[in-house]
Amino acid sequence: MSGERRAFLARVSASLGRSGGGRPAPPATPPPVVDERVVRTCGRGGESRDELARVFKERAARAGMHVHEATYATLGQVFADRVRELGIRRVVVGEALAAFGIAGACSAAGASVEVGGADAARPFEHLYDVDAGITNVQAAIAETGTLVCTSGEGLARGLSLVPPVHMAVVFETDIVADMVDFLVRLSGPLPTNVVLISGPSKTADIEGVLITGVHGPRAVEVVVVR
């Protein structure tokens, strides 16, 4: 242990009424148990997958995201419709979605499409002039209508942040009921970045008026796949 660190921790120990020196002792009692009966707000009654999907869609919409439904067969079509409707000209598709025909559908709808492709030194640079980023999600939380995106191989955090439109593909099997269910899944080594997204970028700093898209995406399009 470095001297600085030891001195810093010794001050903390002293305030806790423990004499410093050596490593601090572990707590005699574990942290309070997170009682699910108390904190869980969704999934209290063992909801079916359909019910969870319904709750997720409703809450995501309430958080200000636009929700669309698709099947594996119609996924490309739904994205093509989005591209045309929103007038999207340039789109970057996350590498993890390369196999789902989304890139081809967007391209057929008239957008110029790039899959992945960041410059290691300036990874966001190619995204500033892009209209939309398309990502998958690692999970979705029904309780709050939340998308969970993580960093990792082929998973660019800039895609859900830099372009004015973020489109996310949520497979129904990704949906968990409550935050507590998601956090159980999160045990083990964490990726560098896990972001829970619950709506478009928002601010109410000017007289409490709600404005979307102050820094991040102005719109979040969520496509839920059965």
Partner 1 sequence: MRMDDAHPLDVPLPYDIRPRAARAVADIKLQQFVGHATSSKDHGRREAFAAAFGERAEEVKRLAGEIKQHTLDHLDWYLDLFIMRAEAVGVRVHYAADGAEANRIALEIARSNSCRLCVKSKSMVTEETGLLGVLEGAGIETIETDLGEFILQLDHDAPSHIVTPMIHKDRTAVGRAFARELGVGYTDDPEKLAGIARDHLRAKYRAADLGISGANFLIAETGSIVLCTNEGNGRFCTSAPRVHIAFAGIEKLIPRVQNLGVMLKVLARSATAQPLTCYTSIITGPRRHDDVDGPEEVHLILLDNGRTEILREETRELLRCIRCGACLNACPVYRRVGGHAYGSVYSGPIGAVITPLLKGLENYPDLPHATSLCGACFEACPVKIDLPRQLIRLRERQVERGITTWGEKLVMRAWAWSLKGSWRYAVASRIQRAVVRELAALGGAAWRGGDGYADRAWIARGPGPLKAWTDERDFPTPVSSSFRDWWSGENRA
Q: Which of residues 98-157 bind partner 1 (CB under 8 A)?
A: 116, 118, 123-125, 128, 143-144, 146, 151-157
Shortest Cβ distance from residue 73 to partner 1 (Å)? 30
Shorter beta-carbon distance to partner 1: residue 108 or 196: 196
CB of 71 to partner 1, least distance (A): 29
User: How many residues contact partner 1, by CB under 8 A?
Assistant: 81
Q: Which of 76, 133, 163, 216 binds partner 1 (CB under 8 A)?
A: 216
User: Closest separation between CB of residue 49 and partner 1, Å?
Assistant: 22
Residue 45, interface with partner 1 (CB under 8 A)?
A: no
The span from the CA of 124 to the CA of 119, in Å, is 8
32 binds partner 1 (CB under 8 A): yes
3-state DSSP call for residue 171? strand
Nearest Cα to 132, choosing from 66, 191, 207, 198? 66
* Cβ atoms 102, 61 nearer than 8 A: no
Of 26, 45, 46, 87, the residue at the interface with partner 1 (CB under 8 A) is 26
* Interface with partner 1 in residues 58-97 (CB under 8 A): 59, 63
Judged by beta carbon, residue 155 or residue 224, the one nearer partner 1 is: 155
Angle at CA of residue 46, ends 42 and 48, nearest 5°: 95
For the CB of residue 120, give the shortest distance to partner 1 in the complex, in Å. 9
In the complex with partner 1, the residue whose CB is nearer, 174 or 178, is: 178
Q: How far apart are CA 42 and CA 164, in angstroms?
A: 31
Measured from the CB of residue 116, what is the shortest distance to partner 1 in angstroms? 7
Q: Which residues from 179-198 bind partner 1, rule CB under 8 A?
A: 179-180, 182-184, 186-187, 189-198
Which runs of consecutive H residues, i.e. helices, occur in 118-168?
none
In the bound complex, what is the minimum distance in angstroms from residue 182's beta carbon to partner 1? 8
For residues 201 and 212, the answer to whether their CB atoms sit within 8 Å is yes
21 is a site residue for partner 1 (CB under 8 A): no
| Phi and psi at residue 225, to the nearest 5° | -105, 125
Give the pairing type, strands 66-70 and 112-115. Answer: unpaired
Cβ pair 43, 142 in contact under 8 A: yes
199 binds partner 1, rule: CB under 8 A: yes
- The number of CA neighbours under 13 Å toward the Cβ of 36 is 13
Specify whether the CB–CB gap between 105 and 76 falls below 8 A.
Answer: yes
